[in-house]
């Protein structure tokens, strides 16, 4: 089965050796990979270049947030890496600075609305007065206004935010769990077919594939579900 570009496999592993072994195991079944903090700080940025050289797509999940100048310079450096997607927290000033820096580059900037491990109690503890849905909706609107390439949100909010996004904007949903998979540290999750039906354009899936006894078979099963949705 050929890869489905809507599936992004999270390389949430401790070393580039582990990541390259997983990529080799998945072979042609997967064409898009996410590199986050764990791997980025263990050689993952060089791996991103190698994956691009091998014809893969790369989603760099760094959730950037800083002053405008630092954001712009960071985006410049990411453009030089040649990756396809980059995340930053969906704060208006940060998004505007990043969008200006990425103009004309082809890099898709994604605004992270709210981590899928957070719920209403977590927001209250952090000092936010909004409930998760209200905060996600406001940040999605701000991402559109800033000219972002898309957003990251829970699949639970996908149907709600899709109407406020432009047609060209990507809607990337982590926290995807096939039937029977453990939730782990995620609190707002959804099955692959339901997430796509709700308006997601890309699904980020990690442990249900990487921790499976047969990762390639797990990826193929998920792709089959996605294509039958």
pLDDT, tens digit, 9 for 90 and up, residues 175-226: 887 755 544 544 446 889 899 999 999 999 999 999 999 999 999 999 998 9
Contacts of 58 (CB under 8 A, 6+ apart): 32, 33, 34, 35, 48, 51, 52, 81, 82, 83, 84, 85
Give the H or E element holding residue 79. helix 68-81
Rounded to an integer, what distance in angstroms lies between the CA atom of residue 87 and that of residue 94? 11
Indicate whether 27 belongs to any domain.
Answer: yes
pLDDT for the residue 185: 47
d(CA 218, CA 177): 12
In a domain, 126, yes or no: yes
Q: What is the pLDDT of residues 13-66, one digit of tens each?
A: 999 999 999 999 999 999 999 999 999 999 999 999 999 999 999 999 999 999
Strands 85-89 and 202-205: unpaired
DSSP 8-class letter at 6: T
56 annotated ligand binder: no
Cα 35 to Cα 22: distance, rounded to the nearest angstrom: 13
- Please tell me whether 201 is known to bind a ligand: no
Residue 8: per-residue pLDDT: 98
Q: What is the domain extent for residue 146? A: 7-227
Q: Is residue 1 part of a domain?
A: no
Q: Position of tokens 């969906």?
A: 90
Total-model pTM: 0.92
Higher pLDDT pick, 153 / 189:
153
Q: Count how many domains the chain has.
A: 1
Q: Report how far residue 109's alpha carbon sits from residue 107's, in angstroms, rounded to the nearest whole number.
A: 6
Residues forming a β-bridge with 150: 110, 170
Residue 37 CA neighbour count, 13 Å, CB half: 3
Asked if 63 and 87 touch (Cβ cutoff 8 Å), the reply is yes
Report if residue 111 sits inside a domain.
Answer: yes
Contact 139, 111 (CB under 8 A): yes
**Has residue 17 been placed in a domain?**
yes
Q: Which residues are known to be catalytic?
A: 63
Among residues 89, 82, 95, 92, the alpha carbon closest in space to that of 114 is found at: 89
113 is in an annotated binding site: no
Whichever domain contains 94, its CATH number is: 3.20.20.70
Least confident of 58-62, 128-132, 157-161: 128-132
pLDDT mean over 75-82:
97
**77 to each of 45, 61, 105, 166, how far by Cα in Å?**
11, 14, 12, 27
Least confident of 72-86, 100-114, 187-201, 215-229: 187-201
85-99 pLDDT, tens digit per residue, is 999 999 999 999 999
Q: Judge whether 2 lies within some domain.
A: no
User: Does 67 carry a binding-site annotation?
Assistant: yes
Does a structural domain hold residue 85?
yes
Q: Is 38 known to sit in a ligand binding site?
A: no
Integer Cα distance of 82 and 37 in angstroms: 18
Find out whether 62 is annotated in a ligand binding site: yes
């Amino acid at each position: 089965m050929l890869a489905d570009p809507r599936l992004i496999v999270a390389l949430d592993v401790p070393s580039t050796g582990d990541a390259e072994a997983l990529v080799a195991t998945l072979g042609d079944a997967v064409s898009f990979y996410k590199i986050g903090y764990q791997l980025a700080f263990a050689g993952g940025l060089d791996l991103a270049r190698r994956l691009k050289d091998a014809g893969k797509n790369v989603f760099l999940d760094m959730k950037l947030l800083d002053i405008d100048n630092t954001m712009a310079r960071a985006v410049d450096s990411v453009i030089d890496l040649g990756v396809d997607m980059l995340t930053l927290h969906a704060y208006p000033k940060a998004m505007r600075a990043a969008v200006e820096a990425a103009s004309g580059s082809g890099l898709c900037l994604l605004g992270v609305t709210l981590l899928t491990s957070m719920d209403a109690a977590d927001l209250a503890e952090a000092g936010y007065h909004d409930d998760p849905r209200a905060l996600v909706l406001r940040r999605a609107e701000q991402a559109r206004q800033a000219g972002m390439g898309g957003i990251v949100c829970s699949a639970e909010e996908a149907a709600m935010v899709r109407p406020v996004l432009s047609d060209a904007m990507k809607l990337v949903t982590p926290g995807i769990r096939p039937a029977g998979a453990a939730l782990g540290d995620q609190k707002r999750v959804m099955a692959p077919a339901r997430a796509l039906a709700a308006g997601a354009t890309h699904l980020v899936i990690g442990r249900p594939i990487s921790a499976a006894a047969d990762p390639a078979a797990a990826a193929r099963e998920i792709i089959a579900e996605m294509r039958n949705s």
